[in-house]
Amino acid sequence: MDKLEFSQARKKLHRTQQQLAELLGISLKAIHSYEQGWRPVPAHIERQIFFFLSKKNNDTSSSLPCWEVKQCGMKEECPAYEFSCGHLCWFICGTRCDCTEQLSAKEKIGICRSCDILKSLLE
């Protein structure tokens, strides 16, 4: 997530920089640093932003779970299936789709950004 995406996300959430800092549990200085591009947005902050945007934008009760959308053959081994949160597969570490289980949080969110599951929640 670059500085422009971060700033746009904050505005979509209708939060001031101070309010977003409180919501994310980080300092106002960190928010300034992300929006100015002085520091990269960490993967865990990006995931939280996507979580809030997805909750603000959509009712996920009608969304198909990821294992149905992707016709997953490994769903029994996946935490998204185990905890019945197939619409939050991108948020959960250790999911099995697209070989993301061995990736860092930053690498995983990079793959998830192009996935239809997350993209549909952010529309």
pLDDT digits (tens, 9 = 90+) for 95-122: 877 766 677 778 888 888 888 888 887 7
> Based on the domain organization, do 31 and 70 belong to the same domain?
no
Indicate if 84 and 114 belong to the same structural domain: yes
Q: What is the mean pLDDT of the chain?
A: 86
Q: Are 117 and 71 in contact (CB under 8 A)?
A: no
Residue with the larger pLDDT of the pair 96 and 15: 15
Measured between alpha carbons, how far is 99 from 120 in angstroms, rounded to an integer? 21
Please check whether residues 36 and 64 belong to one and the same domain: no
Number of neighbouring beta carbons within 10 Å of residue 56? 12
Q: Are residues 63 and 25 in the same domain?
A: no
Number of Cβ within 10 Å of residue 68's Cβ equals 11
The answer to whether residue 47 sits within a structural domain is: no
pTM: 0.78
> Could you give the number of structural domains in the chain?
2
Per-residue model confidence (pLDDT) at position 57: 72
Residue 19 — pLDDT band, cuts 50, 70, 90?
Answer: very high
63 lies in the same domain as 121: yes
Tell me the pLDDT tens digit for each residue of 53-74.
Answer: 988 876 555 578 888 888 888 8
Is residue 104 one of the residues assigned to a domain?
Answer: yes
69 and 115 inside one domain: yes
Q: Residue 121: how many CA atoms within 13 Å on its side-chain side?
A: 28
One domain, residues 63 and 105? yes
Domain that holds residue 14: 1-41
**Within a domain: 99:** yes
pLDDT digits (tens, 9 = 90+) for 25-49: 999 999 999 999 999 999 999 999 9
